[in-house]
Structure 1
Amino acid sequence: MIILPAIDMKDKACVRLVKGDYNTACKVAEDPFETAETFARAGARWIHMVDLNGAKEACPVNQDIFVKVAAESGMKVELGGGIRDMKTIEWYLSQGISRIILGSAAVKNPGLVKEAVKEFGSRIAVGIDARNGMVATEGWMENSSVYYLELAMEMEQAGVNTMIYTDISRDGTLEGVNLEQLEHLNHTVSCNIIASGGVRSLEDIKACRDLGLYGCICGKALYSGKLDLKEAIEKAGG
């Protein structure tokens, strides 16, 4: 299982949110480039990055930062937030981003997901973000009537290989991952599943590994010092 340390960008700063609420944004690091370098020194091979401004505005906002991290860190970057069309996908991938995450588009424009997967294959992932199992969109500000397993099955049919699942109610809370929903998802589809939201300790890493998940995203636990990235990578076995 791979560990993906997270950097969420808002107004050019590295921040963390609680349960996706933009009003809770708290700066956790001064410099995204130094932070990425720290992650790379700890042994991370992937980094998970989110354009929070982009998610809210439905268009890229902090793109120069993501491209520079991809060029300078030595890690592979998976990126989500505000990516709504093929032009943006093509541009990011041409600039060194390794994997694009489509979230709101998976619900509102599944045709884009199909087109992107056809063109770029495994470099396209889908982010499924849910409250009480129901998918949320537009930077988690809008709730849909789509159940997370329903969307996952639809995206698998569209050819998606990798899915990032976030339980919004746990994101940024350090309350632990939602193992029950992750297990249901992992048994429902044959895709690579990345856990996100609530990671707090090595026990969460071990639990996700034991479920047979492909990856686990760590954010607040790293910045708060509750989780050591090098130890997490060793525990994950990848």
Structure 2
Amino acid sequence: MIILPAIDIKNGKCVRLYKGDFNTVEQVAESPIETALSFQRTGAQYLHMVDLDGAKDGTQSNQDIFLKVAKETDLRIELGGGIRDINAASFYLENGIERVILGSAAVKNPKLVKDLVKEYHDRIIVGIDAMHGMVQTEGWLDASEINYIDLAKEMEAIGVQYIVYTDISKDGTLSGPNLYELEMINNQVDIKIIASGGISNIEDIKALKKLNVYGVICGKSLYKNTLSLEEALKVARE
């Protein structure tokens, strides 16, 4: 299992949200690059980054930050938020970002996902964000009528190899991940599942390891010191 510490960017700053609510923005670190380097020094090999401005409005106003982190660290970066066309995805993939995450596009433009998977194969991740099992889009501001399992199966048929699954009601709460929904999606498709939302402590990491998910994203727990990245990496390797 891999551990992906998370850096979310809004207006150029490292922040966290509570349940995806843009009114709950809290700055959690001074410098994105220094934060990334601290994760690398601790032993992380992967980094999950999100452009919150992009998720909300579809722009790439923070792109310089992501490219700088890619250039100045050895971390393998997966990046999501506002990547809704071929140009945005290709730009990042050809400038040091390891994988890009498509969220809203998976629901609203599955042909885009298909085209990108054909071109970039396993460098395309689909982010499935759900509330009560129903997929949300546009930075979690729009509800859909699509069940998260149904979307996962559709993405599997397209050839997607990685899914980041987030229970929005857990995100930023430190209340523990939705183990039931994560187990369901992990059992229903052969895609590698990356768990996101609610991770609080080392017991959560152990529980997710038992589910045999591919990866775990840790954000607020690292910034609030309820989880040791070093300990999480150790458990994940065992």
TM-score (norm 1): 0.99
Question: Residue type of the partner of 1:192?
Answer: K
Decide whether the 8 Å contact of 1:102 with 1:124 is kept in 2. yes
Query: Counterpart in 2 of 1:217?
Result: 217
Query: Counterpart in 2 of 1:52?
Result: 52
Q: What SS does structure 2 have at the residue aligned with 1:236?
A: helix
Question: Residue type of the partner of 1:32?
Answer: P
Superposed, which structure 2 residues align to 1:101-140 within 5 Å?
Answer: 101-140=101-140
Question: Residue type of the partner of 2:149?
Answer: L
* Separation in 2, partners of 1:198, 1:73: 27
Decide whether the 8 Å contact of 1:4 with 1:48 is kept in 2. yes
* Separation in 2, partners of 1:154, 1:92: 25
* Separation in 1, partners of 2:28, 2:151: 32
Please report how far the alpha carbon of residue 66 of structure 1 lies from its aligned counterpart in structure 2 after TM superposition.
Answer: 0.4
Decide whether the 8 Å contact of 1:136 with 1:144 is kept in 2. yes
* Separation in 1, partners of 2:8, 2:152: 24
* Separation in 1, partners of 2:107, 2:42: 36
Question: Residue type of the partner of 2:17?
Answer: L
Query: Counterpart in 2 of 1:77?
Result: 77
Measured against aligned partners, the alpha-carbon deviations of 1:36-92 in whole angstroms (never above 9, x if no partner) come to 000001110100000000011112121110011011111000000000111111110
Please report how far the alpha carbon of residue 157 of structure 1 lies from its aligned counterpart in structure 2 after TM superposition.
Answer: 0.3
Decide whether the 8 Å contact of 1:103 with 1:128 is kept in 2. yes
Question: Residue type of the partner of 1:87?
Answer: N
Q: What SS does structure 2 have at the residue aligned with 1:121?
A: helix
* Separation in 1, partners of 2:119, 2:72: 26
Please report how far the alpha carbon of residue 24 of structure 1 lies from its aligned counterpart in structure 2 after TM superposition.
Answer: 0.2
Question: Residue type of the partner of 1:222?
Answer: L
* Separation in 2, partners of 1:201, 1:131: 22
Identity of aligned residues (%): 58
* Separation in 2, partners of 1:226, 1:212: 23
Please report how far the alpha carbon of residue 163 of structure 1 lies from its aligned counterpart in structure 2 after TM superposition.
Answer: 0.2
* Separation in 2, partners of 1:32, 1:87: 24
Measured against aligned partners, the alpha-carbon deviations of 1:10-56 in whole angstroms (never above 9, x if no partner) come to 01100000000000010000100000000001110100000000011
Q: What is the aligned length?
A: 238
* Separation in 2, partners of 1:121, 1:215: 19
Q: What SS does structure 2 have at the residue aligned with 1:83?
A: coil
* Separation in 1, partners of 2:175, 2:71: 34
Question: Residue type of the partner of 1:95?
Answer: N
* Separation in 2, partners of 1:168, 1:200: 15
Please report how far the alpha carbon of residue 237 of structure 1 lies from its aligned counterpart in structure 2 after TM superposition.
Answer: 1.1
Superposed, which structure 2 residues align to 1:38-49 within 5 Å?
Answer: 38-49=38-49
* Separation in 1, partners of 2:174, 2:32: 22
Query: Counterpart in 2 of 1:169?
Result: 169
* Separation in 2, partners of 1:59, 1:166: 22
* Separation in 2, partners of 1:52, 1:61: 10
Stretches of structure 1 that go unaligned for 5 or more consecutive residues are none
Decide whether the 8 Å contact of 1:59 with 1:84 is kept in 2. no
* Separation in 2, partners of 1:128, 1:177: 15
Cα-Cα RMSD = 0.7
TM-score (norm 2): 0.99
Question: Residue type of the partner of 2:68?
Answer: K
Question: Residue type of the partner of 2:5?
Answer: P
* Separation in 2, partners of 1:178, 1:93: 31
Query: Counterpart in 2 of 1:98?
Result: 98
Query: Counterpart in 2 of 1:157?
Result: 157
